[in-house]
Amino acid sequence: MEEYDDLVPQGLVDIILKQFYRVYNDLGYGFLESVYQNALYFALGMRD
């Protein structure tokens, strides 16, 4: 899979996954996908 190694920088992937799990842990389960999507949008915009 060496040809795909530079598609998305690993640092960006780490940030997105970290914020995704933060949002999911804060909200819990059972919401529509759009709720998680909006929360992730704001979490990524407000991250330090």
Q: List pLDDT tens digits, range 1-41.
A: 567 777 888 899 999 999 999 999 999 999 999 999 999 99
The amino acid at residue 44 is: L
Q: Distance (Å, rounded) from C-alpha 24 to C-alpha 8?
A: 23
**Residue 3: predicted pLDDT:** 74
Q: Please state, in angstroms and as integers, the Cα–Cα distance from residue 5 to each residue in 35, 37, 39, 40, following that order.
A: 31, 26, 28, 25
Which H or E element spans position 11? helix 10-27
Pair 40, 22: CB distance under 8 Å: no
Contacts of 19 (CB under 8 A, 6+ apart): 40, 43, 44, 47
